[in-house]
Structure 1
């Protein structure tokens, strides 16, 4: 039995099996797509032909799976050659963007933990690591022009534990940030594994940490911005950036340094959950609306997004943001990351924008994995392993139309309000990230026709053992271990049913 995750496009057995002596030949064939590969294993060893170096790399990951779980340990522990099946695999990804978003703003993860996740993405043939670097609860990237962003903004005095009632607190200060060299190391480490790191600098909402560091960034004619601290609890925040030229110049400074670190095409600017009550109450913001000839506060936010779209385009980059950036109009070059079900992504694709699908109703991995009472910090909708395996990035309303090509990929997101360390990240991500990886890479049937029992069998037969070898603290299929539970930490479940996919 060959247990490959993600499932390849074509697998042909060419004979029996035999010991693998480690002879691996590789070459590039430009006639293949850049990430495509052919892997042939025979008595003479293995040959990997890739359309580019990325294709060769993905072929190596498949060969690694064939060599058994011990191939995923840091050093070899076996003394005898491993027996491998003789076969030919032809494979290529369905989507160019196969992403995972890791929120390091709410709970900071040390650099080594991020590097470890780069390796885990590579194992699963995922090729984008989206780092959520700034939010109300913390600023995690060093900016030399504005040092208080990390001196002040990277630290909060306490942290709310979980969601809901009763409200309880971890009274220990929490924080941390990545130096520019730390991030350069992460980017270089990822590039060696053909993974692009996409930074997110959130604006104009989700910015209280920045305002706490530099009060002049906030709407000082409405609130006492000097009294704001780095936010210690969760939820949508009314304190947003002021829509001024000074703020635009400040974030141009920030993004100038970000571009020096991250060479990839896309830069994420957030744009979500920007409450506009302060702008409505602000005489300065209302004057800005009149000055720019805008209709309302939605167009005011759109003007800020458009500004940075042009600014990034002038430097050879592309803006991507959450689907709220569609509100008030969106510059043509911008791409949309769709999180509020499929609606925004469908609208964006039909308007000619590239789309990455990551609907919270389907692939938010901070949401609970079962409805049982032992799940730690129950939150969101229930997303079982099977639910994630049946996720379909291209909704029915786009399928079979020219707009479907605008869906450039899919992403699973992991927010960390209730995810405090690496073990909790592992628990929330795995095994569901393995199911997502197969959806993002493989050409699968209609969601209702997918053979989940086959996927589950492959997980049980081989992939859990690989995760064990990698040291991943995943959720067992039978439910959480006692030490993975968090009794007494309140949660918050969504009380509205998930919309069925076929209505998308």
Structure 2
């Protein structure tokens, strides 16, 4: 059936195909009305079929049903010559089953207007399915390059197609602040745009002198959250602290280390990389960031809130009399413990409000906050240490699932960054290291692919870097693949990808062709930062 991600099982019954026509009905059990509405909207647009509800007392041609013995995200599909039934453990499973049903109809089912109104057939057979991981995420960096709301909504649709269920939205960084905070309006008035941007890596010494910026209003973000929820996707916001803070400090200089640098002279950073300008550690700054997070919690109902915690240079704290006084006051050993204290403060603050802190694996340095979940990005090491200590982990090692990294060697790749991570490389990524015992492995709650956008300034660029690799990642996150990457049937996946590329074509996704980028997908002469050699597995 060429399904991606691969289900637990599928059986084809060639003599049980179901023809859909203008008389075919669609009905859902109570509680599944939003899934029914989504499926009817998607299929009516593509097929031209009305798919009206079945009259009372009559059997539906296509039915969405519930079975409370199934897990919430699990589903079964049964297609026979007279009807098709999607049975699920809950609304999430029903939506994933509906996504699979759409795949079974062929690539034209992904178009927004019908190319034909006849000949729509669901292949007879049975599918049983459930996900491997609860957290199947994608990080979308909208700070380095702002992505308009309409493009974020489109990306959510593409995630749902692939049964990915967590959008990690990277909203703040040195290069731009993207979320409206009403009590602190200068965060977007001054912090949401920069005078210019680097083009490619800094060694190329190229600049795009157009001002760049944008931000989401709180209502924009509520819309994004609601749209995502309708597709069973949770949006996890990230507010970076205590580093990656220059955009905020440019807006409110009192947040920076003013006894070390002239923070009033700072603007939003126009370079890529890591700025030395970090938050100071005063009580006033803590109260400011709590005020930011209070508004964040009003917008995002996610149990998890990401606070970053990565790449925090300590030079300003070492030089700051105020920071050194704080270290002495708290009885801390050094600046690493000062960062740990900062993170622990917000771990407790979030926990008191029924939320859970997530941070990059640097939050391990100086001691891990009691309730923290770790995003393990610098290889597996941080995640292994956290899991063994009883903390939940999302595995997203840069050596394997940073999709801003180049897809092939050679000069044709646009702004080549990092290691070569091909479609096959991503397919052979295993989120759970073999060194974890059964108890520790249970703390790996999921995995995530990351799209950092220094070198992606539009949805077209994101399409190129993300696809088709995100389809391979989705199968890693969803399907029960062999734990040994070498034992995975990549040839079978490639065969199924041929059908899946036709779906992406119908969706208008500008993915990287297997033969290499189209001419308009290249950035000739723009210097990247490729890294040679095999990535270390740490």
TM-score by length of 1: 0.98
| Residues in 1 aligned to 2:120 and 2:360: alpha-carbon distance in whole angstroms | 46
Other structure's SS at 2:442 match: helix
Matched, 1:125 2:163: yes
2:27 — aligned with what? none
Q: Which shows bigger deviation, 36-45 or 8-17?
A: 8-17
Which string of whole-angstrom CA distances, capped at 9 and with x for unpartnered residues, describes residues 286-340 of structure 1? 0000111111100100011000000000000000010000111112211000000
| Residues in 2 aligned to 1:413 and 1:134: alpha-carbon distance in whole angstroms | 15
State the shift of 1:497 in Å. Answer: 3.1
Give the counterpart of 1:422 among 440, 459, 466.
Answer: 459
Other structure's SS at 1:39 match: strand
1:316 — aligned with what? 354
State the shift of 1:128 in Å. Answer: 0.3
Q: How does 1:479-494 map to 2 (within 5 A)?
A: 479-494=516-531
Q: How does 1:469-488 map to 2 (within 5 A)?
A: 469-488=506-525
Other structure's SS at 2:17 match: strand
Name stretches of at least 5 consecutive residues in structure 2 with no aligned partner: 25-60
Q: Does structure 2 conserve the Cα–Cα contact (< 8 Å) formed by 1:332 and 1:352?
A: no
| Residues in 2 aligned to 1:44 and 1:441: alpha-carbon distance in whole angstroms | 30
Other structure's SS at 1:412 match: strand
Runs of 4+ in 1 over 6 A off after TM superposition: none
| Residues in 2 aligned to 1:464 and 1:110: alpha-carbon distance in whole angstroms | 25
Q: Does structure 2 conserve the Cα–Cα contact (< 8 Å) formed by 1:377 and 1:486?
A: yes
1:353 — aligned with what? 391
Q: Does structure 1 conserve the Cα–Cα contact (< 8 Å) formed by 2:18 and 2:82?
A: no
State the shift of 1:75 in Å. Answer: 2.7
Matched, 1:255 2:293: yes
Which string of whole-angstrom CA distances, capped at 9 and with x for unpartnered residues, describes residues 122-161 of structure 1? 0000000010000000000000010000000001000000
1:38 — aligned with what? 76
Matched, 1:152 2:151: no
Matched, 1:4 2:3: yes
Q: Does structure 2 conserve the Cα–Cα contact (< 8 Å) formed by 1:105 and 1:140?
A: yes
Q: Does structure 2 conserve the Cα–Cα contact (< 8 Å) formed by 1:136 and 1:209?
A: yes
Which string of whole-angstrom CA distances, capped at 9 and with x for unpartnered residues, describes residues 434-485 of structure 1? 000000000001201111111111111x100100110101001111000000
State the shift of 1:83 in Å. Answer: 2.7
| Residues in 2 aligned to 1:444 and 1:315: alpha-carbon distance in whole angstroms | 38
| Residues in 2 aligned to 1:401 and 1:6: alpha-carbon distance in whole angstroms | 25
| Residues in 2 aligned to 1:465 and 1:379: alpha-carbon distance in whole angstroms | 28
Q: Which shows bigger deviation, 451-460 or 207-216?
A: 451-460
- What is the root-mean-square deviation in Å for CA atoms of aligned residues? 1.0
Q: Does structure 1 conserve the Cα–Cα contact (< 8 Å) formed by 2:68 and 2:89?
A: yes
Name stretches of at least 5 consecutive residues in structure 1 with no aligned partner: none
Matched, 1:114 2:113: no
| Residues in 1 aligned to 2:418 and 2:204: alpha-carbon distance in whole angstroms | 18
Which string of whole-angstrom CA distances, capped at 9 and with x for unpartnered residues, describes residues 41-95 of structure 1? 1112210111111001000000000000011112332221323321111100000
TM-score by length of 2: 0.91
Matched, 1:440 2:472: no
1:497 — aligned with what? 534
Provide the aligned length of Structure 1 versus Structure 2.
498
State the shift of 1:496 in Å. Answer: 5.3
| Residues in 1 aligned to 2:19 and 2:506: alpha-carbon distance in whole angstroms | 20
1:136 — aligned with what? 174
Q: How does 1:64-463 map to 2 (within 5 A)?
A: 64-398=102-436, 400-445=437-482, 446-460=484-498, 462-463=499-500
Q: Does structure 2 conserve the Cα–Cα contact (< 8 Å) formed by 1:164 and 1:492?
A: no
| Residues in 1 aligned to 2:64 and 2:15: alpha-carbon distance in whole angstroms | 23
Other structure's SS at 2:93 match: helix
